[in-house]
Amino acid sequence: MPERIEPCLALLTAKPPKGPDWAYEVKWDGYRVHVHSELGGNIRILTRGGHDWTHRFPAIEKAALELGPATMILDGEVVVLDEQGRSDFNALVASLGGRGGKKVATDTVLYAFDLLYLDGHDLSKLSLEERRMLLDPLLEKAAGAIRLSEMLVTDGAALFATACELGLEGIVAKRLDAPYRSGRGGEWRKIKCVQSDTFVVVGYEPSTSSPGAIASLLLGARKGDALVYVGSVGTGFTDRDARELMDRLNAMRTKRPAVAVKGKSLVFVEPILAAEIEYRAWTGDGKLRHASYKGLRDAEDTTDVYIFEG
């Protein structure tokens, strides 16, 4: 069994691809992980960045042990579900104790959507259709902390419209004939109902009405080897969030801003934190429109910071 496999990543596109070569799944909003089930009942739950978080997801570890003596690597998304069965990223972050938190999350579920290794066999060179033929019966009766993410061969546009009506984040389209390739090669594509991406926190504006709290976060995106300013976000966090963010960011203050932005009351910080931001569109000058804060990403998730191409 390989020690670690770099995950296959989905390319963001505006519309679902068409044709019989594509199948579709719900897009889950959580933390991407690989679950390694090894000989002797050893379970490892690795984040996208390769960090071992087995101890933080005991229910998923237990469910993996209960799948049987098989050695395997499952690919999936750890989520916390709301009352309507939708993934809730804010609830997941809170369950883990916030960014940098050390809590053990007991209410998480893994939605598995791929099988990369099984009983001594590397499955990555098989087509997705073949891999799912092995994964689906393995999890067909699973209903606990590990569940099967259903894959549908249907009309992608119609499924996307339904997902948006139900308040889901979007869908993922995958080529049925493609092997498992690490990186963002285009065999997997994500289509979002509402845009949601990861941006670097480069500073904040203090609140004038609530001393000790922030009014907004200043955000940056990657452009080549540098960062560019893409606007601020002043909604989506509670009063408690606003105070905790100020405390955390004050420990990272710097006099040299990481992006070009001016303002009398702005406070700049080292660009080492990233936040998940929901937004509706981009303005003509490259700023986020109708942005809303969803939560801080952990350090191992900052590899997916938005790449600005404007």
Q: Which of 192, 223, 251 is the last residue of a domain?
A: 192
Same domain, 68 and 163: yes
Percent of the chain residues topping a pLDDT of 70:
96
3-state helix, strand, coil in the chain (%, to 5): 20, 40, 45
Same domain, 188 and 241: no
The answer on pLDDT for 106 being more than 90 is no
pLDDT score, position 98: 60
At residue 183, φ and ψ (nearest 5 deg) are 95, -170
Same domain, 86 and 45: yes
- Domain annotation covers residue 215: yes
Nearest to 130 by CA among 148, 114, 119, 146: 114
Helices (H), strands (E): how many in the chain?
5, 17
Q: Which of 168, 192, 216 is the last residue of a domain?
A: 192
Q: Which of 159, 177, 192 is the last residue of a domain?
A: 192
Q: Kindly list the catalytic residues.
A: 27
Query: Tokens 């941006």 sit at which residue?
Result: 199
Same domain, 168 and 239: no
Structural domain including 170 reads 11-192
Same domain, 167 and 275: no
What does the pLDDT look like over 259-309, one tens digit per residue? 988 888 999 999 989 999 998 778 888 899 889 999 887 655 556 788 887
Q: What is the mean pLDDT of residues 103-129?
A: 94
Max mean pLDDT range (45-59, 91-105, 292-306): 45-59
Query: Tokens 């969030």 sit at which residue?
Result: 241
> In whole angstroms, what separates CA 17 from the centre of its chain?
22
pLDDT score, position 299: 53
Torsion-angle region of residue 174: left (phi > 0), alpha (psi -120 to 50) or beta? Answer: beta
Same domain, 19 and 61: yes
pLDDT score, position 99: 55
* Residue 38 parent element (H or E): strand 31-38
- Domain annotation covers residue 288: yes
Total tally of structural domains belonging to the chain: 2
Nearest to 79 by CA among 124, 121, 32, 114: 32
- Domain annotation covers residue 6: no
Percent of the chain residues topping a pLDDT of 90:
64
Same domain, 154 and 199: no
Same domain, 78 and 16: yes
Same domain, 85 and 102: yes
Same domain, 185 and 213: no
In the structure, what pLDDT confidence band is assigned to residue 101 with cuts at 50, 70 and 90?
low
- Domain annotation covers residue 37: yes
- Domain annotation covers residue 2: no
Same domain, 202 and 107: no
What does the pLDDT look like over 204-240, one tens digit per residue? 999 988 889 999 999 999 988 889 999 999 999 989 9
Query: Average model confidence (pLDDT) for the chain?
Result: 90
Same domain, 122 and 246: no
Q: Where are the alpha helices (DSSP H) in the chain?
A: 58-66, 89-95, 128-139, 156-165, 239-250
Q: What is the mean pLDDT of residues 31-50?
A: 92
Nearest to 218 by CA among 233, 208, 228, 207: 233
Identify the CATH number of the domain in which residue 254 sits. 2.40.50.140
